[in-house]
Amino acid sequence: MAIRPATHRASGQARRAQLLQAAVEVIANQGVGGASHRAIAKQAGMPLSTTSYFFASLDDLMTAALAVVADRVATRLDESIRTIVQDNMTAEAAIDHLIDTLLGSSSEDVAAQFEIYLECARRPQLQSAAHQIMVSFERAAELFAIVSKAKEEDPGQFTQRGLLHIVREGSR
């Protein structure tokens, strides 16, 4: 039997997501060093105790916030790869599309993404978020290699090979 009604879980998840987004914004504007329970709660418009309710420590909060950024970056790159394959883009069009995808990222996500990279040496728990982003970039690079090779060998096989690659590699 559930202790809280489902509506509490949904509103709790919304508050948690709001805290995570506030943490991303604080990290983007002030760096990891400027992130504190107080700054994040203020950015989220919530009481200070809310951060401790959802996260055992500031490191846990920052790790979760940066994982959200990593998920968004990976999702954008994977969607871009799928579009490139589905639309059977030329290599030039694919590169332009990928660049547009990257330029379309929010400034907060870009700043937080680089904060992940910078903090990995000091906070090993952030390495998985950095790895997730790097794997997405590697998949995009591999797709471009496949695109170039497939178009040279048999242009009609490009879409099949690209989709097969994404299906196989996406499950890693």
Task: Output the tens digit of pLDDT for each of the chain's 172 residues.
Answer: 445 455 558 788 899 999 999 999 999 999 988 999 999 999 999 999 999 999 999 989 988 998 898 899 889 888 988 898 888 887 778 888 888 888 888 888 889 888 888 888 888 888 888 888 888 888 877 877 776 665 565 555 444 455 445 445 543 4
**pLDDT of res. 129:** 84
- How many domains are contained in the chain? 1
Query: What whole-number distance in Å separates Cα of residue 130 and Cα of residue 74?
Result: 10
- Asked if 91 and 151 touch (Cβ cutoff 8 Å), the reply is yes
**pLDDT of res. 56:** 92
- The enclosing domain of 89 has a CATH number of 1.10.357.10
Q: State the burial class of residue 153 (Cβ atoms within 10 Å of its Cβ: 0-12, 13-18, 19+).
A: exposed
Query: What residues make up the domain containing 155?
Result: 6-170
Is residue 137 in some structural domain?
yes
Is residue 95 in some structural domain?
yes
Is residue 1 in some structural domain?
no
Query: What whole-number distance in Å separates Cα of residue 89 and Cα of residue 107?
Result: 27
Is residue 16 in some structural domain?
yes
**pLDDT of res. 167:** 45
Is residue 60 in some structural domain?
yes
